[in-house]
Every structure is written in C-alpha cells, then in structure tokens.
Structure 1
Amino acid sequence: MRFWANEQPHCFTVWCAMSSHGVIGPYVFKDTVDSQRNLSLLKNKFVPALRKRTENMQDVWFMQDGATAHTSNIVLDYLHETFGDKVTSRRYPEVKDCGQSWPAHSPDLNPCDYFLWGYLKSAVYRPKPADTDMLLKNINWEVKKISEEMCGNVTNNFVVRVKQGKLIKGRHIEKVIHY
C-alpha cells in the first residue's frame, strides 16, 4: 500500500506462511521486502520452521504470489533447491521448466489471501491498538491463537476452490460462492 503524507509514516511489512500444519510467522520487517530480505527470510526462518513441522519435505508444495521480491532469480533458485518441482509461483515454470504457474489475478486460491489476512485484520484491530508496538503485539498474539485444526480446514478449502475455479473458467470465486 502507498500512503502520501507530510512526514515519514511508520511502515512495516508482515510476512506469514500458512499450511495444514499451522501458521509460520509472523515475521516483521521495518521496511519493504526486497529479494535479498525475502531470500534471507526463506533460508534462515521459514524453511527451518517448516522442517520442524513436517516429516517429509518431498510432500510439501510451496505457493507464493507474484510479488517481485518473491520471483527474483535468486529466490526462484533457492525454491528450486528446496522444493524442486513442487512450487507454484509466477515465473517459476518459465525459469525452472517445472512447477506450476501462479494463476493470474487469483487471490481466491491463496489461503493467506482468502482467509489469513482478513481474519487477522479483523482480530488485530478489534481492541483498537493505540500505537505500533501494541499493533505488533496484537499481530503476534492473534497469529499464535490460530489452531492447526483451523489451518487444516482452510487449506482443505483450497481443493474446493481449485475445482470451483475450473468449473467457472477462472472467474473470481468470491463472486460465485456465497458464504
């Protein structure tokens, strides 16, 4: 998001990953995330945390959106070393000749987009944080409250969404599915 202001706003980026095993993160950056910061996060925080939660990394699919910091060559090289052909990302199939392309304009298929960010936003702002420190505490607290069972339900919904997306020929699912 971009904000125009007369003075420097307090900005930060929150990064989380979600699987049927739970949420990994949040990781907070006091600045924007470039490809080097993203690579460092993947290598030093995310993948070690993921290895602790899963018995077999060969069964893990990694899915990410098409943000530039996520799709640089150095990041895609690392994803290929770590996940092989089990990556869904913009540019990945073209660069690595394997994996799945991120479907264009499809936040309907990413559990972080169709569940996590909206859920966290409503929970984090419910107590009206007075400052940035309280906001970050709320984010950490609310992420910790998300159960593995809840994550399993959300990720199981991914399969339903993919089938629905195929039936409606790629149109936005939220416009078709009424909750």
Structure 2
Amino acid sequence: MPYRYSPQEYLNMALCYDEAGQVMLRAQQLYAERYGRHLHVRTILGAVQRHRESGSFQTRLDVGRQRHPVQLEEDVLAFFERHPVASIADAARMFGVSQYYVWRLLRNEGLHPYHFTRVQELLPADYAPRVDFCRWLLRNRTYNVLWTDECTFTRQGLFNMHNAHYWSDSNPRVIRPDHFQFRFSVNVWAGIVNGTLLGPVFLERLNTDTYLQFLQNELPELLLDVPVGSRRYLYYQHDGAPAHFSLRVRAYLDEAFQGRWIGRGSVIRWPPRSPDLTPLDFHVWGRAKDLVYGNDGHTIRTVEDLRARIINAFDVMASESEVLSSVRRHCLDRARKCVQVGGRHVQHLM
C-alpha cells in the first residue's frame, strides 16, 4: 500500500521548495538532508500545485475518504448556493473531486448554467420616469405609436473569436483577416407601427440638419405605406439623442404631431436609458444584424454590399408578419412588467 503523507509533511515539502528558490532538485536534496527521507520530485511538485490551486494539501482521495458521499454532495450544493457564479472547476478544486463529478451532481439536481443578460445601466432617478411612461402606454393601449431608432452597421459586424473554431484532425493554421485599416459603416433609421416595418433609411450622419430633412421630406412618404387607421392620431417616438433634442426638430414635431410625439422635451417624455422598452432595440436591430452578417461566410467588401444586405434583411423582416404583429403585445407586456418591478430592468424577466 503506498505511503500516505500527512498535511505537515506536505507543508514541509512546500517550505523546502520555497527555501530552495523553487528549484526542484535543490528542494529534493534539502528535504532529504532535513528529514532523512528521499522524495520523488513529482511528490513535491504535486504538493505545491495542489496548494496553489485549492489552498489545501489534501488529495482527492483524502477528501473522498474524510467525507461521507452524502455529506460531500450537500457541501458542494451548499457551495453553489453561496457562490452561484462559481465555476465547476472552482468547486472541483475546492473539494478535491473531478469536474465531471461536480457537473453530474449539478445536472442531477436540475441546476443549469444560465448566461447573464446584458442591460443598460439605470440610475435610481430613472425608475419613476420609466414607470410613468409605461403607465401612460398601458392606459392608452394605443396601436398608433411609431417606434423609431437609428443604428450603425459596420463592415466588421459581429464576430466572437472565443466561439470561432475550425475543426480538423491537425492544425490547419487558418487565419481571419481583420479589416482594421479598411473600415466603413452606415447609419440606418427604422420604424415600426402596428405590425408595419418602415425603412431602412440611410442617413450619412445624424445631426440636426439631416434628421430634420428626413422628418420633413422622407418620413411623410414612408407613412404612405402605413394603413390609414394607424396613421390617424399617430404618435411619433424617438429617444434622447442630441439631434432629436434640437430646438428646430422639437418645433417641427410640435407642429406636425401636436402633442403626439414621445421624446426628450415633449409633453410625453421618453424615459432615459430605456432601450428595453422599444421594439427597435429588443427585436428589429438584433434580427437585422443576424440577417446582415449571418453565417454565409461572405465578406462585406464595399459600402454598397453592406447597404444591399441591410435592404435584403428588411425585406425578410417585413415578410415576417406574425412576428411584427406580436411586437405591440410584447411592448405592453414589457410596460406591464416594468410597472410591477418599479421601473427596474425587465429584459431578464421576459
């Protein structure tokens, strides 16, 4: 039966290793001189590594024998109750068991590794305006809100190196060119009202002049595609971007929509930092970028190519009538949930 070292003996090995300047052969000699026992270098190395990883000299065999299996399971589960963001590897090091053991235990208990939902930071002063707006929306239950927003599409698009793989039985040494020195982008306006998608409209840059020109000349033509019933008493919504808040833009909206526009400086105020309440952010832009960048492997080489992809994406979304028709109901669901939680985040609750 192999010799089992005590925690004190493992500690002595680690001390000799440190005194020897972390040179393994010197540590081996020092331990033999001091304690009269010749150790294999792997024994010393194992003690040092276990202590670095888990803060303990105990081996997995030690932990397994010291704890009853039922008690060990309870301890592991209690560890995750106290530290829900811990990893399987953290627990395996802590209790001296395999990662497979921890994974199987969690799975058998019905626990799953859920991802975080990224949200816009809210300030305490934002809660009341969010509740006020959502109550207005629920009280009116209007079909006629034209939700709008602008978004920038870049050449690079969406690419996560961490999730990108090339499966092969040997390393193919594949590369992916980065277009750092050849970047370009386009700004896109879009809107949605009662199941009708408007856009895309390409804006060279978003400032007072371009936005006002769009409102005066292009928006009226876009609204011709909206059913008459939805155009009647239409509410125009936009957020608090600087171009939206300019005096000329607000003066035009006061004249064109006469108390029926939603935004910063309006009688119906848009709550700041609230992308989770508009369907452009929780549906349109995400769906559009999935379609534009996709997984077809083609590189976007020109601005014209990028614009064509965006137009095609909007054509596809416009044909998804059932999804677009559900947007209004989903907006009301989010508004209702926002009121229930006192103006706090709602993405993770939907």
Match of 1:97 in 2: none
Q: Which has the larger radius of gyration?
A: 2
* Structure 2 CA distance for aligned equivalents of residues 149 and 77 of structure 1: 36
1:90 Cα offset (Å): 1.2
CA deviations on 1:16-59 (whole Å, 9 max, x unpaired) are: 11112421111112x32101100111111112221441315343
The whole-number CA distance in structure 2 between the counterparts of 1:23 and 1:73 is 28
Q: Provide the secondary structure at the position in 2 that maps to 1:24.
A: strand
Q: Does 1:134 align with 2:305?
A: yes
* Residue 69 (1) aligns with residue 237 (2): no
Quote the residue 1:106 is aligned against: 274
Aligned-partner Cα distance in 2 for 1:85–1:48: 21
Deviations 1:91-127 (A, max 9, x none): 223xxxxxx1111211111110111011101111013
AA partner of residue 130 (structure 1): I
| Worse-matched range after superposition: 103-112 or 128-137 | 128-137
Residue identity matched to 1:152: S
- Aligned-pair Cα RMSD in Å: 2.3
* Conservation of the 8 A alpha-carbon contact between 2:195 and 2:327: no
Change in CA separation of 1:154 and 1:129 when aligned onto 2, cut-off 3 Å: farther
Matched residue, 1:55:
228
TM-score of the two chains, using structure 1 as the length reference:
0.83
Q: Which amino acid aligns with 2:282?
A: Y
Q: Structure 2: any 5+ residue segments left out of the alignment?
A: 1-151, 155-178
1:125-157 deviation line (CA, Å, top 9, x unaligned)? 013442232221110011012234422211221
Give matches, 1:38-53, under 5 Å. 38-53=211-226
Matched, 1:118 2:278: no
Cα separation, 1, equivalents of 2:331 and 2:349: 15
Does the 8 Å CA contact 2:291/2:313 hold for their aligned counterparts?
A: yes
Tell me if 1:169 matches 2:337. Answer: no
Do 2:195 and 2:326's aligned partners in 1 also have CA atoms closer than 8 Å?
no
Distance 1:21 1:45, change over 3 A: farther
Structure 1 portions without partners, runs of 5+ = 94-99
Shift of 1:68: 0.7
Q: 1:152 aligns with which of 325, 336, 346?
A: 325
